[in-house]
Amino acid sequence: MVPLRTEWGRSMDPHVLADALQEHPETQLVVGIHAETSAGTLHPIAEFARLAHEAGAMFMTDVVTSLAGCELEFDEWDLDFAYSGSQKCLAAPPGISPVALSERGLDYIRNRPKPPTSWYLDLQLIADYWGPDHIAHHTAPVSMIYGLREAVGMALNEGLSARWERHAANASALRAGLRALNLELPVPEDERLDQLTLVRLPKGVDDVKLRNQLLDEYSIEVGRGLGEFAGKIIRVGLMGESCVPANVFALLNALEKILPEHGFEVANGVAAAAASAQLVKHPSPLFTG
Amino acid sequence: MVPLRTEWGRSMDPHVLADALQEHPETQLVVGIHAETSAGTLHPIAEFARLAHEAGAMFMTDVVTSLAGCELEFDEWDLDFAYSGSQKCLAAPPGISPVALSERGLDYIRNRPKPPTSWYLDLQLIADYWGPDHIAHHTAPVSMIYGLREAVGMALNEGLSARWERHAANASALRAGLRALNLELPVPEDERLDQLTLVRLPKGVDDVKLRNQLLDEYSIEVGRGLGEFAGKIIRVGLMGESCVPANVFALLNALEKILPEHGFEVANGVAAAAASAQLVKHPSPLFTG
CATH of the domain at A133: 3.40.640.10
pLDDT at B77: 98
Percentages helix, strand, coil for chain B, rounded to the nearest 5?
45, 10, 45
Contact B144 A87 (CB under 8 A): no
Judge whether A100 and A79 are in contact, CB under 8 Å.
yes
Report how far apart, in Å, the C-alpha atoms of B247 and of each of A67, A96, A97, B240 are.
44, 32, 35, 12
Kindly tell me if the per-residue pLDDT of B219 is higher than 90. yes
Q: Which of B94, B139, B142 lies closest to A142 in CB terms?
A: B94
Residues in B closer than 8 angstroms to A117, CB to CB, are 117-118
Torsion from C-alpha of A16, A18, A23, A29, nearest 10 degrees: 100
CA-based nearest residue to B249, from B194, B178, B186, B166: B178
The CA distance from A175 to B5, in Å, is 65
In tens, the pLDDT along B227-259 reads 999 999 999 999 999 999 999 999 999 999 999
**% of chain B at pLDDT higher than 90:** 91
pLDDT at A97: 94
The beta-strand segments (E) located in B47-126 are: 58-62, 81-83, 99-101
- Candidates A96, A122, A143, A221, partner chain B, best to mutate (most B CBs within 10 A): A143
Pick the last residue of a domain from B140, B173, B208: B140
Looking at every residue in chain B, the average pLDDT score rounds to 96
Pick the last residue of a domain from B140, B173, B204: B140
Q: Which of A93, A117, A141 lies closest to B94 in CB terms?
A: A141
Pick left, alpha or beta for residue B216 (phi over 0 → left; psi -120 to 50 → alpha; otherwise beta). Answer: alpha
Q: Assess whether A136 and A164 both reside in one domain.
A: no
* Buried-exposed string B253-285: b where 16+ CB fall within 10 A, e elsewhere: bbbbebbeeeebebeeebbbebbbebbeeeebb
**Residue B118 binned pLDDT confidence (cut-offs 50, 70, 90):** confident
CATH number at residue B241: 3.90.1150.10
Instruction: Tell me if A155 is assigned to some domain.
Output: no
Instruction: Tell me if A24 is assigned to some domain.
Output: yes
Q: Assess whether A116 and A21 both reside in one domain.
A: yes
In tens, the pLDDT along B67-95 reads 999 999 999 999 999 999 999 999 999 99
Instruction: Tell me if A287 is assigned to some domain.
Output: no
Give the residue on B whose Cα is nearest the Cα of A121. Answer: B120
Residues in B closer than 8 angstroms to A134, CB to CB, are none
The CA distance from B274 to A278, in Å, is 76
Q: Which of A94, A120, A142 lies closest to B121 in CB terms?
A: A120
Quote the domain boundaries for residue B40. Answer: 14-84+97-140
Contact A93 B140 (CB under 8 A): no
How many residues can be counted in chain B? 289
Q: Assess whether A135 and A197 both reside in one domain.
A: no
Q: Assess whether A172 and A103 both reside in one domain.
A: no
In tens, the pLDDT along B157-170 reads 999 999 999 999 99
Contact A142 B117 (CB under 8 A): no
Q: Which of A94, A117, A144 lies closest to B117 in CB terms?
A: A117
Q: Which of B118, B140, B141 lies closest to A118 in CB terms?
A: B118
Q: How far apart are the CA of A196 and the nearest CA of chain B, in angstroms?
A: 17
Contact B144 A142 (CB under 8 A): no
Look at strands B99-101 and B41-42 and give their pairing: unpaired
Q: Assess whether A129 and A203 both reside in one domain.
A: no
Q: What is the mean pLDDT of each run of 10 residues along chain A (289 residues)?
A: 96 98 98 96 98 98 98 98 97 95 95 87 90 90 96 96 98 98 97 98 96 97 95 98 97 97 94 98 90
Instruction: Tell me if B8 is assigned to some domain.
Output: no
Q: How far apart are the CA of A148 and the nearest CA of chain B, in angstroms?
A: 12
Instruction: Tell me if B2 is assigned to some domain.
Output: no
| Cβ neighbours for A221, distance < 8 A, ≥ 6 positions apart | A211, A214, A215
Q: What is the mean pLDDT of residues B263-277?
A: 96
- Candidates A138, A139, A142, A145, partner chain B, best to mutate (most B CBs within 10 A): A139
pLDDT at B119: 86
pLDDT at A115: 86
Contact B143 A140 (CB under 8 A): no
DSSP state letters, B4-51: ----TTSPPPHHHHHHHHHH-TT--EEEEESEETTTTEE--HHHHHHH
pLDDT at A117: 84
Q: Assess whether B41 and B112 both reside in one domain.
A: yes
Containing A50, the helix (H) or strand (E) segment is helix A45-54
Instruction: Tell me if A166 is assigned to some domain.
Output: yes
The CA distance from B228 to A285, in Å, is 60
CA-based nearest residue to B78, from B107, B52, B114: B52
Q: Assess whether A102 and A166 both reside in one domain.
A: no
Kindly tell me if the per-residue pLDDT of B121 is higher than 90. no
Instruction: Tell me if A185 is assigned to some domain.
Output: yes
pLDDT at A2: 97
End-to-end CA gap in chain A:
43
Give chain A's domain count.
2
pLDDT at A288: 81
Q: Assess whether A164 and A121 both reside in one domain.
A: no
- The SS3 call for residue A186 is coil
CA-based nearest residue to B249, from B268, B274, B224, B266: B274
pLDDT at B148: 97
pLDDT at A120: 86
Q: Assess whether A18 and A133 both reside in one domain.
A: yes
State residue B222 phi and psi, 5-degree precision: -120, 155
Contact B120 A117 (CB under 8 A): no
Residues in B closer than 8 angstroms to A147, CB to CB, are 143
Q: Assess whether B123 and B165 both reside in one domain.
A: no
**Residue B115 binned pLDDT confidence (cut-offs 50, 70, 90):** confident
Contact A94 B141 (CB under 8 A): yes
Q: Which of B96, B117, B147 lies closest to A118 in CB terms?
A: B117
Residues in B closer than 8 angstroms to A85, CB to CB, are 139
Contact B95 A120 (CB under 8 A): no
Judge whether A65 and A37 are in contact, CB under 8 Å.
yes
Q: Assess whether A110 and A165 both reside in one domain.
A: no
Residues in A closer than 8 angstroms to B141, CB to CB, are 93-96, 144
Q: How far apart are the CA of B131 and the nearest CA of chain A, in angstroms?
A: 19
Q: Assess whether B131 and B202 both reside in one domain.
A: no
pLDDT at B40: 96
Q: Would you list which residues of chain A are within 8 Å, Cβ to Cβ, of chain B? A: 85, 87, 93-96, 116-118, 120-121, 139-144, 147
Looking at every residue in chain A, the average pLDDT score rounds to 96
Look at strands A223-224 and A233-237 and give their pairing: antiparallel
pLDDT at A31: 98
- Candidates B65, B139, B145, B150, partner chain A, best to mutate (most A CBs within 10 A): B139
| Cβ neighbours for A60, distance < 8 A, ≥ 6 positions apart | A29, A30, A31, A32, A79, A80, A81, A82, A105
Instruction: Tell me if B181 is assigned to some domain.
Output: yes
The beta-strand segments (E) located in A103-232 are: 196-200, 223-224
- Candidates A118, A146, A150, partner chain B, best to mutate (most B CBs within 10 A): A118
Judge whether A9 and A42 are in contact, CB under 8 Å.
no
Contact A95 B144 (CB under 8 A): yes
